[in-house]
Structure 1
C-alpha cells in the first residue's frame, strides 16, 4: 500500500527549509561541541594544575612535619575511592567529584604508612562557567538558525514565486493564450548575469513568441488560400451551371460544390482562429432546434428528448455544431444515429467503429488520418471551435458497447426553466 503524501510535502520551499534547518542544526551542533570541548579542557586543565600545585606544597609540608592547610589532609573524608586506590598504588592523580553538594577538584598522592595525602580545590565557579557557556551556545545557535531560516525563506520564496509565475504562464500558453508572457525583469537586463529561473523564463517567452508567430503565419495562409480560392470557384460554379445535362456535368457540379464547401470551412476556421467571433444570443428550445437540424441534414437520424431545456445561445452557431456532429456520425459511423437531448446536454451517437485514439487523446486535428483510415476533415474542428465560442463543452468518447459519442454541454442561463419532455 502506497502512502499518499500531502501536496505541500513536495514543494521546493519546504525542501529548502528542511535542508537549511538540517544544515544549520548540524553546523551549530558541530561548532557547539568544538567550543564546549575546548573550553572544558582548558578549564579542567587549569583546575588540575592548581590542584597538583597545592598537592606538591602539601606533600612538602607533610614531609617537613609542618601542619597542613584547611584544604589538605591525610585520608580526608569525601576522597573518591578510585583516586584513593591510585594514591595507595604510589601514583598521583586528579578527579572531579561532588563533595557536600559542591563540585570539587581532588588531587591525591601517596603518604607514609600506606595512606593517601589529598587536597581539594573548589570547582563550582568553573562548573558554572561551563554551564553558562553551554547555555550561551544553545541560545546563539537557536538565534543563528532562526535568522538563517528567515533569510533563507525570503530568498527561496522569491525564487519559488518566480517559478510559480513561469508555471502559470506556461499553463496559460497550453490553454491557448499565446499572448501570455513571463516578462521577468531580470531576464531583460542584459548587463546583469541571469540566474536559472530567469533563463527558463526567457526561454519560455521566446518559445511562446515563436509558436505564436508560426500559428499566425498558418492562420494567415489558411485565410489567404480560402480567399484566393473563392474567386476561381465562383467562376467554376457559374461555368458548371452552363454545361449541358448529363452524368459528367453532375460530377463536375458535385466536385465544385465540394470545393466551395471546403473553402467556406477554411474561411470559418480562419475566423475562429482569430478569436473575434461575436455571439447573437437568443432563447431557444433545444428539442425544437435539434429537430430542425435533423430535418436540414436530410439523413435518417433518431431524435430522443429525455428532458427538454431552454437555453440562451446563438442559434446559428449551435445549429452548425449539431449539424456537423450529425453529418460526421453518418459519414464516418454506421446507423442507427441517435441525437439525444437531456436538459442542456445534447449527445450524438453512431454505432460504427468509434473515434480513433488520437482524437480521443488530443481532440480533432485538421485533415489528419491515421493507419490508412479516412480522416474526419474539418467538421469536428469547426464544431469544437464554435462550441468554445458558445461557452459550451464538447467531449468525444467511445461507447462501451461500440460506437462514437459526441456530448455537447451547453451553459444554461439562470432563470430559464426547463421545458417539458
Structure 2
C-alpha cells in the first residue's frame, strides 16, 4: 500500500501541541468550575428553602395561615421526600427535570401524619451560572487562540534557526568549508540548536584537519617518489633491447603515470586549482581533441556552442573519459556534443553499481583484475577537473535510457557562465531507482 509522506513545519506542530494542551486544561478547569458553582448554588437554594419553610411553619403554628405558597399534604410532593419527613425530620429534595434551575422542595412534619411542604425555582440564582458558562467559554477560546499564537511565535523562531542551520550544513556539504553553522544560526539566547551547531562545526573542523593531513601525506609521498621514479625510467631507457627491458620500461612508465595522477588528485583535493578561461567553439574543439586522442572514437556534433572554459582541463576530462571507456567498455565509443553537453558512451557492460550509487572513488576500478586495468584515478580526476570548471559530471548506464542498448554513458554539463568559485564538490546526478 502506497503511503504518502506528510510533512509539516515545526511551528505548526508546536502550535497544535500547545493549543491542544491549552484546550484540554481549559475544558477541565471549566468543568470543575461549572460543577463547583452549580453545587454551591444548589446548597444555597436548599438553605434558602429550609429557612422559608421554618418561617412559614412558625407563622402557621401561631396564626394558622400558610404563606409562600406552602401546602399541607401536597399530593405532588415526591415520594422520597414524604418518606423522609414522616420520620419526624425536616428535609429538602431537588427535583431536576433537565432545566437550568431545578425545583427545590422543603418539607417538615406537623404531627398527626401531616406534612408541611413548599417548593419553587430560583431562576435568578441559576442565571448567574449561564453567565459563568459564557465567561468560561470566552476564556477557554482565548487560551486556545493565545496558545496557537505562542506556538507559532516560539516554533517559528526555532524553525527559522533550524532552517538556517540546515542551509549552512548544505553549503558545508557542497564543499564550502568557510561556512560556520553557529554564525549562520545567530541569536543571543543559547539553546540546543546552538549546541548542535557547535558540535557540527567541531566535527567539520576535525574532518577538514584529517582530510588536509591525509592530502598532504599523499602529496608528500607522491612528490618524494617522483625523483626516484624519474631516475628509474631514465635508467630503464639505457637497458639493452629485449623483452625484459621492455617490461621494466613499461612498469616504470606505469609507476610514473600513477605518481603524476596521485599528485594531481592531491592538488584537486586542496582546492587550490584555478581555471584559465578561454572562449572555445565546443564542437570543433571536441572533434579535434578526440581525433588526437583516439582516431577510432566517433564524434557527432548535434549542436555547436561557444563556451568559456579551460581548454587544458576540458581536454583532460575528455581524455580520462575516453580512456576509461576504452579500458572497461567495448567499442564503438561515441562522443556527442549537444550545445554545452558532452556525452561519452561505450557499448560494454556499463558502470558498476557502486559507482552509480556513490560516485567515482580513487583506486577502485570495478574489476578484481588489477593488471593493466588502471588505478581507478581517471574518473576521480575527471570529476575534480569538472568541479574546477564549474561543470557537472554525471554517470549512468545506457540500458536505463530505455532504448534497449547497453553501455556506460558519462555526461559533462558545462556551465552557461564562466566559473567564479572552485571550492565546491562536483554535483553528480545518479539515475533514479
Normalised by the shorter chain, which TM-score bucket?
A: 0.7 to 0.9
SS of the residue aligned with 2:182? coil
SS of the residue aligned with 1:38? helix
Paired residue for 1:405? Answer: 409
- For residues 102 and 264 of structure 1, the distance between their equivalents in structure 2, rounded to whole angstroms, comes to 96
- For residues 221 and 410 of structure 1, the distance between their equivalents in structure 2, rounded to whole angstroms, comes to 32
- For residues 399 and 104 of structure 1, the distance between their equivalents in structure 2, rounded to whole angstroms, comes to 85
Paired residue for 1:204? Answer: 200
| Displacement after TM superposition at 1:26 (Å) | 0.8
- For residues 228 and 376 of structure 1, the distance between their equivalents in structure 2, rounded to whole angstroms, comes to 19
Distance of aligned partners of 1:296 and 1:131 in 2 relative to their CA distance in 1, 3 Å threshold: same
Paired residue for 2:421? Answer: none
- For residues 347 and 229 of structure 1, the distance between their equivalents in structure 2, rounded to whole angstroms, comes to 36
| Displacement after TM superposition at 1:110 (Å) | 7.6
Paired residue for 2:271? Answer: 275
| Displacement after TM superposition at 1:405 (Å) | 0.8
Matches within 5 A, 1:133-282: 133-183=132-182, 196-282=192-278
The equivalent position to 1:329 in structure 2, one of 325, 331, 345, is: 325
SS of the residue aligned with 1:72? coil
- For residues 49 and 221 of structure 1, the distance between their equivalents in structure 2, rounded to whole angstroms, comes to 96
Give the structure, 1 or 2, with the largest relative contact order (CA under 8 Å, sep 6 or more).
2
Q: Which moved more, 1:308-317 or 1:55-64?
A: 55-64
TM-score, reference length from structure 2: 0.81
1:31-90, Cα deviation, whole Å (9 max, x unpaired): 111111112111111111111221233234335553233x324389xx9x9656666667
Paired residue for 2:4? Answer: 4
- For residues 261 and 23 of structure 2, the distance between their equivalents in structure 1, rounded to whole angstroms, comes to 68
Matches within 5 A, 1:92-103: 93-95=92-94
- The answer as to 2:392 corresponding to 1:393 is yes
- The answer as to 2:296 corresponding to 1:297 is no
Distance of aligned partners of 1:258 and 1:45 in 2 relative to their CA distance in 1, 3 Å threshold: same
Paired residue for 2:402? Answer: none
Please tell me whether the aligned partners of residues 100 and 126 of structure 2 are also in contact (alpha carbons under 8 angstroms). no
Q: Which moved more, 1:258-267 or 1:57-66?
A: 57-66
Equivalent residue pairs, number? 403
SS of the residue aligned with 1:7? coil
Paired residue for 1:344? Answer: 340
Distance of aligned partners of 1:177 and 1:83 in 2 relative to their CA distance in 1, 3 Å threshold: farther
SS of the residue aligned with 1:324? helix
Please tell me whether the aligned partners of residues 161 and 193 of structure 2 are also in contact (alpha carbons under 8 angstroms). yes
Distance of aligned partners of 1:360 and 1:29 in 2 relative to their CA distance in 1, 3 Å threshold: same
Paired residue for 1:417? Answer: none
Distance of aligned partners of 1:87 and 1:39 in 2 relative to their CA distance in 1, 3 Å threshold: closer
- For residues 179 and 283 of structure 1, the distance between their equivalents in structure 2, rounded to whole angstroms, comes to 31
Q: Which moved more, 1:365-374 or 1:318-327?
A: 365-374
- For residues 84 and 210 of structure 2, the distance between their equivalents in structure 1, rounded to whole angstroms, comes to 98
Q: Which moved more, 1:172-181 or 1:296-305?
A: 172-181
